[in-house]
Each structure stands twice: as C-alpha cells, then as structure tokens.
Chain A
Amino acid sequence: MGIENIITKISEGLGDSLLSLKQKSDKRVYIDIPPQAVRETSRLMLETMAARFQIATGVDTREGIEVMYHWALDADDLIVTIRTMVSHEKPELDSIALFCVAAEWIEREMWELLGIHFRDHPDMRHLLLSDDWPEGKYPLRHDYQRSDEVTP
C-alpha cells in the first residue's frame, strides 16, 4: 500500500484521536492517542487496516504508565506502535481482548506486572505470578521494593 497511504488512512480513521505521529523510519511509525480512544483505534488497526497484533508493552514513567500496542503490517514491512498514557493514580484502560483474542494474555500480564486495570477483560487473573502475590505490588513499577516479595 505504501507507507504514505497507510499513514494517511490511519490519520483519517483516528481523526481527533491522533495526538501526534512520528515516522522514525520507513519501517517504524509511532502514534500517540488518548486513553479513551484505545478501543476504536485497535478496531481500526485490526479490522480496517487488517494489521496483525504483535504485542503490547507497558512502561512505568515519571509522567504515568505508558502502554504501547504494536501492530504489524506484514505486506508493507511496517510496524505501527500506538501509544497512550494513563496516570499512576487511575491506571485504567478499556480491554481490547473481547474482539482481539490475541491481546488476552498480554493484558493479564500488564495488569499483574504494572497494575493497569483493563475494563471488561473476559478472564482477568494472574498469568505469570503466583496467585498469592501480594496485592498492589507490581514488579515492573519503579517503586517496587524487593522487600515486598512473597516468601513461599
């Protein structure tokens, strides 16, 4: 399709939800959106752009918790990363697992390691950590202390 057309199509689909767009190279594009636009953006990528959901990455930063959704457009050798930011005080996002099965596990992982609450997730429970892991202690957050750890 060509990267220019792809960018145009995504920009049009996002409309006001497009906060910023950066084309790092001809293979990597980074787009910022507000948290409330996660579901519609994911539908746009999955259904309209027919992109493949690769994975999502959560990052604890000073400004808040950043969540990036990585989408691959295999036919065009392009990876589009859609980024949003939630606050530490209220780290909540809409789950996309109901229409994007591929995202089910990673949302569970981001909840247990970073404390992001995914609204309407079909099966939210621990994925990697033991079920008796202390509540509210998220290992990938920068304020996580080793003294919080569970001793079996």
Chain B
Amino acid sequence: MSKRTIVPIGPYHALQEEPEFFKLHVEGETVVHLDIELGYNHRGIEKLSESKDFEETIFLVERICGICSTSHPLACVQAVEDAGNIHVPERALFIRSAVGELERIHSHLLWLGLAGHFIGFNTIWMWAWRFREEVLNILELISGNRNHYGMMKPGGVRRDINKTDIPAVRGLLEKLQDPLKLFRDTVIEDPLIHARTKGIGILSREMAVAYGALGPTARASGVAIDARRDHPNAAYEMLDFDVVTCENGDVFDKTVVRILEMFESIRIIEQCLTKLETVKGPVDSNPKCVAPGEGVGVYEAPRGEVFHYIRSDGSNRPVRHKVRAPSFMNVPTNRETVLGGTVADATIILAAVDPCYCCTERMAVAIDSHGGDELWGARDLIRLSCEKTDRLMKETGWRGPQPPENIFANR
C-alpha cells in the first residue's frame, strides 16, 4: 500500500478553483491525516471595522459571507444594541426573524444541492437551486436584493415589510412545502443516499462538545444547542419552534437536520407574518449614538452560532469588533470525521460541515511533497465520490433519486 498525498485543489465548491485546500494524506484508500490551512480569504475585517462607523460596519460585515449575509449583520447589530442598551421596536424583531429564517431556507437548499452534486446526483443540485431561486425572489421583494439584503441596522431594520407583500411571502411558503417534502422523503427513503451517507463521517457527541461545534454539525451529534432558543434574540422568544436534533452525527443525520430545519423555518416565518399583520409601530428606534460599553451579540446562522463582540467608547466607531463565524468551530471537527474514512467519502464528509469558508478564512492545504507521490485535485475527489455511487448502483441495482412524474405540476 503506497502512501499518497492528495491535494484537493478547491474547497467544497470544487466547481470553482479557489486557492483553498484540504490536504489529505492517504494510505491505500484510507485517509490517515488531514491538514487544514487557512488564510486565502482573510481580508482583515476586524481591523477595517475600527475605521468605520457603526452603520458602515454593518455593510462591511454583511460581506463577510455571501450566503449568511444577514446572520453576521444581525449578530453585529445585536452586539451594538447590547453595548449601548439600545431598544428595538417589536415590529423590527419580527422582520429580523423572518428575514433570518428565509436566509436559513435558501442556505440549506444551497447546501443540499451541493451535497447532491458531490454524491453524483446533479438532479438534486438543479432542483434544490431551482427552488432556492423562489426564496431569493421573495428576499428581493422584501429587501431589494437577492443577497446582501442590507436589512439590519442598530436599533431596528432598514425597511418594513409591506402589507401588500405578505401574500407573496405566504405564497412562497406554500410553494416550498411540496419540494421540501420531496427532498425529505427522498433522503429518508432512498437506499443509495443511505449507503453514501449513513455511518459516514461520524462526529461523536463528546467530540462535538470538545470542539465547541455549532449548528447542524452539533445538533446532528445530539448536542441540542440553538442560539434561537438558548440565547433568545430577535423575535424568537415570542415564536414557537422545535430544535431539530439527531443522534449519530454522520452525514445522513446532518442532512436530515438541515432538511427538517427548513420546515421549522417555514413555521417561524408564518408566525412572523401573522404578527406583522397586527403589530404596528416603527421598525427603527433611530439611535443617535452608542453609549460607551461592550456588548456581545449571538445569532443562529444556518451554520451555527455567529458571535460578535463590540466595544464602544461613545464615539461613532467601534474600538474593537470581534467576529467569530460558526465554521471557525465546526471546520476543525473534520480532523475527527475524515480520518479513518475512505478517500471517496472525503468530499461529502468535508462538505457536511457546510463550511462557509469565506466566513472562516478558507481551508487550504499546504503540501509537503514526498517524492513520487500522486497529487490529486478536488475534481478527482468528486470523481472518486461519483464512482463510488456508480459502483453501488451496479452492485445493488438501486437507481437513486428519480424525478417525480409530475415534476412540472406545481410551477
């Protein structure tokens, strides 16, 4: 068994060549060592924040990540409000929760599509992203942009949700029910998806707690933490929802947690809309300054708890702004989940943490080249993963998820 070093050139979105890598050291087919190197995405945002005023900082912080682009601003404004004891009107709280949950749906659908792609089912990728477009339409209706909504500000939100737009948002929630049920049933029933994800990349409960894992990565391992329930923010104290957990911590459980969370998100948005029809008042308390002090804001992003710390000296700029994205805690768990697994499973295991790599600083792998080692790229890893699916299909006769007969019925 020769020792090979495999360099996935590219992170999860191995569809895109990016200078981030995971380096896997492999013996035969088994991964024996994992190096994670960051730094290719580091833009010095914490330092930049010190030269911006509190409102400009929100726009900066939004661009930490394109997918959780409301999670960071929400945690940041909450930190500012905690520091300055700033009041937020009730209507704004419901809008915050609604936008945050819409983001959760589109982020999980994005992940689902990529996970399907990595296993070799591009149809799942196309379906999931097709329905994601509907969510982006609604976000554009509410905020004016598909991503980077610019909705949050210290003291409230920038835009109200018009009464005339609420039926459109409800229409979206209606429209999503069937596709989400389709995804849920497919994942829960399809034997090929089971074969590719059950028992793969297991993160034990002890390890999840030791690494401080967050979000679906932790909840799939049975660690029932959720900042919406544990550190209630926005309107979550006034809303009714369940925290979804599983027990085994494998890729299958991480998938199930994310899919079932989307149903919870729909429930939450529906409650917010009902409240928004009756709760009146401003959406912004218009704070003129932030009192000296320090504050912490946490928010449950699609990937887990986002943490922001703000220190203010009474001027209009933060003295210190600390940002910690959930992937900073989740990505190190890959050390536990990838080791001992096969190289064909590596892509889906690394993807299961749903690293918002731009949040964390990108994973890269530094390679120490040994003479005569084979170097493989991310495309090769995905190819290995798809080959495993093909092999399973041949051995078992399972076909994998198929499009439903009436796929065009609910257009």
Contact = CB atoms under 8 A, between A and B. Distances in A.
**A and B touching (C-beta < 8 Å)?**
yes
Interface of A: 24-25, 27-28, 30, 52-55, 57, 59, 68, 70, 72, 74-75, 77, 79, 81, 101-102, 104-106, 126-130, 139-140
A54 B307 contact: yes
A140 B42 CA distance: 13
B329 interface: yes
B404 interface: no
Contacts of B332: 101-102, 104-105
A15 B309 CA distance: 27
Contacts of B38: 127-128
A149 to B, nearest CB: 11
Nearest to B296: A79
A109 to B, nearest CB: 9
B354 interface: no
Interface of B: 38-39, 42, 44, 46-47, 82, 209-212, 225, 230-232, 293-296, 298, 305, 307, 309, 311, 319-320, 322, 324, 328-329, 332, 361
Contacts of B296: 28, 70, 79, 81
Contacts of B46: 140
19 contacts: A25-B82, A27-B231, A28-B295, A28-B296, A52-B212, A53-B212, A54-B298, A57-B309, A59-B320, A68-B309, A70-B296, A70-B309, A72-B231, A77-B230, A101-B211, A102-B210, A102-B332, A127-B38, A139-B44
B42 A75 contact: no
Nearest to B207: A101
B47 A54 contact: no
Given A101-B210, A140-B47, 14 more contacts: A25-B82, A52-B209, A53-B212, A54-B298, A54-B305, A54-B307, A55-B322, A55-B324, A74-B230, A74-B231, A79-B296, A101-B212, A102-B211, A127-B361
A104 B296 CA distance: 21
Contacts of A54: 212, 298, 305, 307, 324
B47 to A, nearest CB: 6
Given A72-B231, A81-B296, A102-B211, A55 B307 contact: yes
Q: Which of A52, A68, A129, A140 has the most CB of B within 10 A?
A: A52
A101 B329 CA distance: 10
A101 B213 CA distance: 11
Nearest to A133: B39
A122 to B, nearest CB: 12
Contacts of A72: 230-231, 298
Nearest to B297: A79
Contacts of A52: 209, 212, 225
Given A55-B307, A72-B231, A129-B39, A79 B298 contact: yes
